[in-house]
Amino acid sequence: MQLIKTEQDYRQWMMNVYLYEDETAGESLLSEDEVETILFAHLPRSYPCLGVVQPKVRNPAENHVAYYYPDYIRFMAKEMGIMDL
């Protein structure tokens, strides 16, 4: 789970956690266009948000990206008695 505040945070998180790419890994197996296509396909709808990468239910070998936004986090905090809004 990662707090994502900006598009730069998103790109870095996705490269490291979803695509397993970083500056020390050497040459990428993906072209720049392929990376951009994947990043665009998984963009959150807004910032800030919490991003989570987890295995897909029907195919654990593949990952699913989910986002949680402030309204949902406030709702859950209220339901759990953590916040009184």
Judge whether residue 77 has pLDDT over 60: yes
Q: How far from 62 is each of 46, 53, 56, 65, 83, CA to CA, in Å?
A: 24, 10, 6, 10, 35
* pLDDT of 60: 82
pLDDT, average across residues 57-71: 91
Judge whether residue 24 has pLDDT over 70: no
Judge whether residue 38 has pLDDT over 70: yes
Rank 34-38, 44-48, 52-56 by mean pLDDT and report only the highest.
44-48
Q: How would residue 25 be classed by pLDDT, with cut points 50, 70 and 90? A: low
- Write the CB contacts of 26 (distance below 8 Å, at least 6 apart in sequence): none
Kindly report the pTM of this predicted structure.
0.82
Domain boundaries, given as residue ranges, for the chain: 2-79
